[in-house]
Structure 1
Amino acid sequence: MFAWRRTAVRKKVVVNLADKAFMGILWAKRGPLLVLRNAELLEAGRAPQPVDGEVIVERAKVEFTQVLAGGGD
């Protein structure tokens, strides 16, 4: 178990993938999946796009995750 995942749950994060990123609250980690709520899609050259519902991301596709200062709780 990675300590950052325990620390990051219920915090505002940016999950970076190869071609896009999602910013939102890391709500849960379920096996190989991360669950984000209140998420926005971030793509280069575009304004952030709100996403309805939860975003499910496969951890294997995550390049890196940033925990934002003061985000969450």
Structure 2
Amino acid sequence: MPSADEILQRMRAIQERREEAIRPLLALLAERSQLLKKLEELKEPYGRAYVMAEEGDGPRRSSRRWVLTSR
């Protein structure tokens, strides 16, 4: 039967391997969080531009260039 010290050593080794294994997942979760924040920041300007385009106050295409129009 293994001694208490051997059991503790095995437990610590297993825990170290678990921590190493989870590092890539943590990096992905951090990147996902940053990307979701950036996406949230884009919602308002995109929404405004969409409404302007639907109302006819947005950019209009004139030949090959976009021209801003206003009412």
> How high is the TM-score relative to the length of structure 2?
0.22
Q: Which has the higher strand share?
A: 1
Q: Which has the higher contact order (CA 8 A, sep 6+)?
A: 1
> How high is the TM-score relative to the length of structure 1?
0.22
